[in-house]
């Protein structure tokens, strides 16, 4: 079975270590852990893949920038003939405390422009999304500055462990299916 892991972020060195790029960080972690081939540039994304427990995971890091992530989702789902129910989107979430994970199978975009574009492009809100909490520790009106800035020194200490847990959540989605993975990932 094949799974599409759409890891959201923005391309370019100025965005590399920002909160908004947590999806790219999870993709890089999984690629390194499983010795995946180097990411290759393809249409609308950098991609690579790895195998784990009989499943193939295709890691996709869109080159469309966050607000046009739907282009990458639609293209790679179609090109690889992967059904939407075998896609999980990894993204940042301001509504969750730092490092908290939430796996869901459908719902609103929650104000996230990347998810809004995916939903508009695919015409559905029924797809798995793994939200990685980045907290909302910013003054009113400074949301964009906050998500486009690096993690704090305190957060950086915990970040590798939290990224590993997000990677485990992606693997659980593939190995167990959405419902069982939610029961593991979404524990308080």
The residues carrying an active-site annotation are 20
Position of tokens 């947590």? 22
How is residue 20 annotated by DSSP?
G
Q: What is the DSSP letter of 100?
A: -
Alpha carbons 45 and 89: distance in angstroms, whole number: 14
What does the alpha-carbon distance between residue 115 and residue 100 come to, in Å, rounded to a whole number? Answer: 18
CB burial of 133-159 (b: ≥16 within 10 Å; e: otherwise) equals bbbeeeeeeeeeebbeeebeeebeeeb
Q: For every residue of 35-99, which 3-state class applies, written as one string?
A: CCCCCEEECCEEEEEEEECCEEEEEEEECCCHHHHHHHHHHHHHHHCCCHHHEEEEEEECCCCCC
């Amino acid at each position: 079975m094949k799974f599409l892991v759409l890891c959201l972020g923005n391309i370019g060195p100025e965005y590399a270590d920002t909160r908004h790029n947590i999806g790219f960080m999870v993709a890089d972690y999984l690629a390194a852990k499983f010795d995946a081939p180097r990411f290759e540039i393809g249409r609308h994304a950098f991609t690579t893949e790895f195998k784990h427990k009989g499943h193939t995971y295709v890691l996709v890091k869109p080159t469309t920038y966050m607000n046009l992530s739907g282009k990458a989702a639609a293209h790679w789902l179609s090109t690889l003939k992967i059904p939407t129910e075998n896609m999980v989107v990894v993204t940042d979430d301001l509504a969750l405390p730092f490092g908290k994970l939430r796996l869901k199978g459908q719902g609103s975009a929650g104000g996230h422009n990347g998810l809004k574009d995916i939903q508009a492009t695919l015409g559905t809100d029924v797809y798995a999304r793994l939200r990685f909490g980045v907290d909302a520790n910013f003054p009113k009106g400074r949301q964009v500055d906050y998500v486009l800035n690096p993690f704090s020194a305190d957060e950086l200490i915990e970040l590798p462990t939290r990224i590993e847990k997000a990677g485990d959540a992606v693997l659980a989605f593939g190995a167990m299916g959405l419902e069982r993975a939610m029961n593991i990932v979404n524990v308080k």
